[in-house]
Homo-oligomer: A and B are copies of this chain.
Amino acid sequence: MSLDEPHIDTYARGKALSEQVNPGMEDVLRDRYDTLVPGLSKTVVDVAYGQFYARGGVDEKTRLLATIAALTALGGQTRPQLKVNIASARAVGATRQEISEIIFQMTLYGGFPAMINALNAAIEVFEAEEDDT
């Protein structure tokens, strides 16, 4: 499925994916943000999910590991989003080891503090999981 088909409905495609990965997300965003920024929730679903994550060409696990890498290297300043993406990566089958290895590797690009801060975020996510993997 590709975006160059003229009539693709990116919102519908994004909605399907976001409901699968984060059920109820659009509603949460709408309640919190849409009074201030009308349409924010719809843009997140349409753009982030419909026009990027749902594209295909790379499997979802690799996409999420790439996102974790980027947020780690950016320096921990996006900790809430880092934790959301770590949880999403777990949901599509990434092991704790894979996630931790990718974070550790980012020492080379974002430095040791960024790596340690991201690993601390990952530990919080892992500890909140009910079972071990």
Contacts and interface: CB of A to CB of B under 8 A. Distances in A.
Interface of A: 2-4, 10, 32-34, 36-40, 42-44, 46-48, 51-53, 55, 57-58, 62-63, 65-78, 80-81, 96-98, 100-102, 104-114, 116-117, 119, 122-123, 126
- Name the prevailing secondary structure of the A interface residues: helix
A110 B62 contact: no
Contact of A108 (B46, B73, B100, B111): B111
Chain multiplicity (copies): 6
Given A75-B77, A102-B58, A117-B80, A70 B109 contact: yes
A78 B65 CA distance: 20
A126 to B, nearest CB: 8
